[in-house]
Amino acid sequence: MPPSPQILRHNGGTAPHFHSTVSVQKLRRLSTLILVLRLASFCFSLASAVFMATARSDSANWVDHDAFRFVLAANAIVAVYSFVEMWVSVWEILKGGTLLPEAVQVWFDFGHDQGFAYLLLSANAAGTSLARTMRGDDTCTAASAFCVQSYISISLGFAAFLFLLVSALFSGFRVACFLITGSRFHL
């Protein structure tokens, strides 16, 4: 005998309980949006790391400056993290479930999105401070490719930060929904 559907009491009547396809569609849309944000974060952080890694001239090199090494390292770390999380998002979209147990996955995503966003923010702030100092003491001239590349790298890093920040907001939304409902988000 097949299991009977759960019965919900609503205004004195009964109705069979079913999983709403609307909430499944909303979950898929949220996962797709997070995937797009992670893709953008990956692209911007990778481009930032590449620009910083190739920033050198006869008189200056990124290796000679701690802040620029920090910018390169932070953006490279975030590029790797975003790449892995992109594939986790693809898994969630295709399989309809999380790769890790759901409680672990939502907290992992939320915590790491925030941590790496702060890492990017601090690295790019340090890089901005050094770039401004270099511009003030005539190390950077208008024709210096090194300075232009470092400015571009820092700008791309800030863009990656913004996309990771928005991703962290959506990850926080997933955590809140998980805490409220005890499972996947349902609206």
Long-range contacts of the stretch 110-114 (C-beta < 8 A, 24+): 110/168, 110/171, 110/172, 110/174, 110/175, 112/81, 112/85, 113/164, 113/167, 113/168, 113/171, 114/168, 114/171
Cα 41-45-155 angle, rounded to 5 deg: 105
Residue 16 has a pLDDT of 43
- pLDDT tens per residue across all 187 residues of the chain: 454 444 443 344 444 444 445 466 777 788 889 899 999 999 999 999 999 998 876 666 777 788 889 999 999 999 999 999 999 888 888 877 777 888 888 888 899 999 999 999 999 999 998 888 887 666 666 557 778 888 899 999 999 999 999 999 988 888 888 888 776 554 4
For residues 80 and 82, what is the distance between their CA atoms, to the nearest angstrom?
6
Would you say 53 and 150 are in contact if contact means Cβ atoms under 8 Å apart?
no
138: Cα separation from own chain's centroid: 36
Residue 84 has a pLDDT of 93
Packing angle, helices 21-53 and 66-95, rounded to 10: 150
Residue 50 neighbours by CB distance under 10 Å: 17
Residue 59 has a pLDDT of 65
Residue 64 has a pLDDT of 74
Torsion sign across C-alpha atoms 73, 74, 76, 77: positive
For residues 63 and 67, what is the distance between their CA atoms, to the nearest angstrom?
9
Residue 163 has a pLDDT of 95
Residue 115 neighbours by CB distance under 10 Å: 13
Residue 23 has a pLDDT of 64
Residue 10 has a pLDDT of 38
What is the 3 state secondary structure string of 44-100?
Answer: HHHHHHHHHHCCECCCCEHHHCHHHHHHHHHHHHHHHHHHHHHHHHHHHHHHCCCCC
- Strand bridging mode 7-10 / 13-16: antiparallel
Residue 8 has a pLDDT of 40
Residue 153 has a pLDDT of 92
Residue 11 has a pLDDT of 42
Torsion sign across C-alpha atoms 111, 109, 99, 40: negative
